[in-house]
């Protein structure tokens, strides 16, 4: 966020900035609305953008957007940063994505990795229907969708021999990541579900009072990780030794041509890779007994 530190912004101010649309709010047109078992699900459209939101007017719930004129272009920077996981594991054959949204990440990964098997987990059937009807997402035998809680899915699959080379954590409700998907116990299960030298990519916020606790929680499970920061922040970690930045840079060259239709370059993502600890190492680790979601509603320090 230029020279500003995102954590210095009040949470609501940050959220409004993150959800700023290229046109005035008055240009938004509500084209779909339904109340699911879990949330309000809304789809807004502007002249060149369609967005999935979990709150009215997308004030703090802009989950996924597509460019109607260039559908392959990635609108949100966090999705580009999540693809930085491919610099650590460029050929994952088995991928798990927890959280569907509009289906941007699974759709893009299927284009980039046509031979990969991609399992998608989404708790809300309404979100799956909206992704299919309004955002062009299509499940198939190579990319099935499991309609269940992400943690329940991980726990269930751990009882089998199946393991993943890449796991992406991108599950959100109307405000933030569900608290049971933030704890050391859950991340320990994710760690165990990774194949040897497997990679996890997690989408979180840069402006949250849980930033320090999230960081020490991931560090307690995975050790050193890459921290990519913009308005969102993406954590890239491994269940083995973290690949070096030099290796990541070398792998990134494979995607020079592939990323061009997506609207960005590998270098723009690689420039955000950092292993510097910009958090309070004495913060409390998040656990199943301590995961205070209420802190999210306070302004960041």
- 3 state DSSP class of 215: helix
Question: What is the assigned CATH class of domain 77-287?
Answer: alpha beta
Q: Which residues contact 300 (CB under 8 A, 6 or more apart)?
A: 6, 7, 8, 9, 10, 11, 14, 207, 208, 209, 211
Instruction: Please state, in angstroms and rounded to a whole number, the distance separating the CA atoms of residues 37 and 123.
Output: 10
pTM, two decimals, is 0.89
Query: Which strands form 29-35's sheet, in the order they lie side by side?
Result: 29-35, 40-45, 49-53, 62-67
Hey, what are 125's tokens?
């059937």
| Residue whose tokens read 């993943």 | 164
pLDDT, position 262: 97
The segment(s) of the chain belonging to CATH 3.40.50.150 are: 77-287
pLDDT, position 12: 37
CA-to-CA separations, 271 to 65, 66, 250, 266, in angstroms, rounded: 24, 25, 13, 9
Instruction: Please state, in angstroms and rounded to a whole number, the distance separating the CA atoms of residues 137 and 82.
Output: 18
299 pLDDT tier (thresholds 50, 70, 90): very low
| Mean pLDDT of all residues in 205-216 | 92
170 catalytic residue (yes or no): yes
In the set 119, 124, 149, 170, the catalytic residue is: 170
Q: What is the pLDDT of residues 172-205, one digit of tens each?
A: 876 789 999 999 999 999 999 999 999 999 999 9
Asked if 252 and 258 touch (Cβ cutoff 8 Å), the reply is: no
Torsion of CA 191, 193, 197, 201, to 10 degrees: -60
Quick one: which H or E segment has residue 65?
strand 62-67
Buried b (16+ CB within 10 A) or exposed e, 65-76: bbeeeeeeebbb
């Amino acid at each position: 966020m230029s020279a500003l530190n995102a954590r210095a912004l009040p949470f609501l101010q940050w959220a409004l900035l993150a959800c700023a649309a290229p046109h005035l709010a008055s240009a938004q047109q509500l084209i779909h609305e339904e109340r699911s078992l879990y949330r309000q699900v809304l789809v807004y459209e502007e002249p060149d953008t369609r967005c999935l939101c979990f709150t009215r007017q997308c004030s703090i719930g802009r989950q996924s957007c597509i460019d109607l004129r260039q559908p392959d272009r990635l609108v949100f920077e966090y999705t580009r940063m999540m693809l930085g996981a491919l610099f650590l594991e460029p050929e994952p054959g088995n991928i798990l994505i927890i959280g569907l949204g509009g289906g941007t990440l699974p759709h893009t990964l299927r284009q980039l990795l046509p031979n990969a098997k991609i399992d998608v987990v989404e708790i809300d059937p309404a979100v799956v229907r909206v992704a299919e009807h309004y955002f062009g997402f299509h499940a198939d035998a190579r990319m099935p969708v499991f309609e269940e809680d992400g943690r329940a899915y991980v726990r269930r699959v751990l009882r089998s021999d199946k393991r993943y080379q890449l796991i992406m954590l991108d599950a959100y409700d109307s405000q933030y990541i569900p608290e049971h998907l933030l704890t050391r116990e859950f991340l320990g299960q994710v760690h165990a579900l990774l194949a040897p030298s497997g990679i996890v990519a997690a989408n979180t916020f840069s402006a949250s009072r849980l930033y320090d606790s999230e960081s020490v929680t991931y560090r307690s499970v995975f050790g050193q990780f890459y921290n990519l920061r913009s308005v969102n922040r993406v954590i890239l970690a491994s269940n083995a030794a973290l690949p070096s930045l030099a290796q990541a840079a070398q792998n990134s060259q494979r995607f020079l041509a592939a990323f061009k239709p997506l609207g960005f370059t590998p270098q723009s993502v690689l420039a955000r890779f950092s292993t510097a600890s910009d958090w309070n190492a004495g913060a409390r680790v998040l656990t199943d007994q301590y995961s205070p979601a209420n802190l999210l509603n306070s302004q960041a320090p």
